[in-house]
Amino acid sequence: MPKENCLIVRAAGQRLDLLRGEAARIAKGANAGWWTDRAEIGTRFCFEDFKSKELFALTCDSLGITCQDG
């Protein structure tokens, strides 16, 4: 799977569950797919389109959760 539209997030427990819900909502709104993978330093959230990735990054920022390109 391509990883150009991925972000690595450092979150666990309920915060990670919240992010999964937000990722699903964003991807559904864009009619695009998404998935997660384990990363060395967190969880990698990947989206089929760039716009969804950017919206997810803004969501992470608004929740005070650190994310980086991955």
Class of domain 6-69: alpha beta
9 C-beta neighbours (distance < 10 Å), count: 26
pLDDT average, residue stretch 12-18 = 93
- pTM to 2 decimal places: 0.90
Residues 21-68 have pLDDT tens digits of 999 999 999 999 999 999 888 999 999 999 999 999 999 999 999 999
Domain map of the chain by residue range?
6-69
- DSSP state string for the chain: ---TTEEEE---HHHHHHHHHHHHHHHHHHT--EEEEEETTEEEEEESSHHHHHHHHHHHHHHT--EEE-
Confidence band, pLDDT 50/70/90 cuts, at residue 70: confident
Residue 13 pairs in a beta bridge with: none
